[in-house]
A and B are shown apart, each in its own frame.
Chain A
Amino acid sequence: MININDVSKKFQTADGEFNAVSSVSLNIEEGDIFGIIGFSGAGKSTLMRMINLLERPDSGAITVDGENILSLSRKELLKKRKTIGMIFQHFNLLTNRTVFDNVALPLELAGVSRKERKARVLECLETVDLLEKAKEYPAKLSGGQKQRVAIARAITTQPKVLLCDEPTSAVDPQTKEIILDYLKRIREELGITIVIVTHEMNVVTRICNKVAVMEHGKVVESFPLEEIPKIEPKSAISKILFNESNSVSEEPKEEGEFVYVG
């Protein structure tokens, strides 16, 4: 579904160039819940933001659903982005729009008629069980509810891919579980491919089927989750992360477990 091939990205900083992502290759298949884990500054967000070209890579190739996104014209890219939903750590809801109007926004931008919009918005709010909050403004919602609105908003245009940048890093552990459960559910119900950036191993072990470990702009290891128990971590960071994952799987679903790395 998503193919990232030898992609690099440099940033100009005060003291010269900085390689945020260097020669990363990843293959994310249809239906995956693909985790990208690593410490802060590893380049996870930059890598994810290149999938919908919020950040343009300096070199390499990226195909999404069989289409080389780097060769798209601006107009084609805007259309393509409607097939790639995204949610963020800080939700990024419009403060002056009600929950309903927030969820309607992607449809409004796509020129969908008011009537069709309404039906679709209600459907999506139902998916995240927030129908009763439709008329509220985001400021009146809890963090978890805001993220659920953001999820509803991201799926209104029926995207094939959902990008999640630290979707549970600004909420408490209980809320985190709820949000992850919703993500899992929409993955099952809609068959959407999910990419999730996180610095917490328990997020990965809870919902991902594959994981890539990032450090200093590089993917140091990448494998399906079921292999984690038998795999011998090569990198120092994987060792740290996997030890945590073992403790999580030994005592499953301890309420309030909160592994904070980085």
Chain B
Amino acid sequence: MWDRISPILPEMQLALWQTFYMVAVSVTIGVILGTLVGTLLYITRPGSLLKMPATNAVLNVFVNIFRSIPFLLLTIAIIPFTRLIVGTAIGTTAAIVPMTISCIPYFARLIESTLLEVNRGVIEAAESMGANRFQLVWKILYSEARAGFANNITILTVSFISYSTIVGIVGGGGIGDFAIRYGYNRYDTEIMMITIVLIIVIVQVIQSVGNLIVKRLDKRI
């Protein structure tokens, strides 16, 4: 098997690096902006910290729209926007744009549902202490939801490793594109299988590390 892999090793390494680059950048931006949007979704809900039903409705519509466009179509549909942002619509950096745009609403929903699980009584206790809204979010909600956040980041990362296999269509490269080129275009099933196993291993590692962090952060039991 090794003699089959060694000639294509440099190419495989490059593909792995591309995947890492695309996922790392889109997930990082997605986590930051998604946390912001998710928190806004939560605090503008009726009965929550801010009375802003209109903002909440608008945010919900936007999130739903971007959540419902299939990723492949989104990648193609926003090509003009991608060109505007990074100067080109082709290549690994260009592929980060649709991935990030997909990341934000996805993570926002994860964060919103995690925040909804925070015990109302704890928020009320902090309100009775005279906590202001910023403190309620920063010191209470985020503290209580931190294990959920770590879990959400794990879910997001795993999902977007999967999404990254699609952006070969705009020349994004990556490990998925590599597998398609060998397995599908060259009928080299063996290389494709090796690549799939590699992806499985990577996902397993990410999931295990994620679980470990969640366990560390969670003091509920």
Q: Give the interface of A toward B (CB within 8 A).
A: 52, 54, 77-82, 84-86, 88, 90, 92-97, 105-106, 108-110, 137-139, 150, 157, 163
Q: Are B219 and A137 in contact (CB under 8 A)?
A: yes
A-B contact pairs, 22 of them (CB 8 A): A78-B131, A81-B130, A84-B128, A85-B128, A86-B129, A88-B125, A92-B121, A93-B125, A94-B122, A94-B144, A95-B122, A95-B219, A95-B220, A96-B220, A97-B143, A97-B219, A105-B126, A105-B129, A106-B129, A106-B130, A109-B131, A163-B128
List A contacts of B132 (CB < 8 A).
78
CA distance A84 to B140 in the complex (A): 19
CA distance A86 to B130 in the complex (A): 11
How far in angstroms is the closest Cβ of chain B from A153? 8
B61-104 vs A, CB cutoff 8 Å, 1 = contact: the mask equals: 00000000000000000000000000000000000000000000
The reply on B124 being an interface residue by CB < 8 A is yes
Q: Are B220 and A139 in contact (CB under 8 A)?
A: yes
How far in angstroms is the closest Cβ of chain A from B110? 19
The reply on B11 being an interface residue by CB < 8 A is no
Q: A88-B121, A139-B221 are in contact. Are A109 and B126 (CB under 8 A)?
A: yes
Q: Are A90 and B121 in contact (CB under 8 A)?
A: yes
Closest to B122 in A: A92
Q: Are B135 and A109 in contact (CB under 8 A)?
A: yes
List A contacts of B192 (CB < 8 A).
none
Q: A86-B125, A88-B121, A137-B219 are in contact. Are A96 and B143 (CB under 8 A)?
A: yes
List B contacts of A85 (CB < 8 A).
128
Q: Are B130 and A96 in contact (CB under 8 A)?
A: no
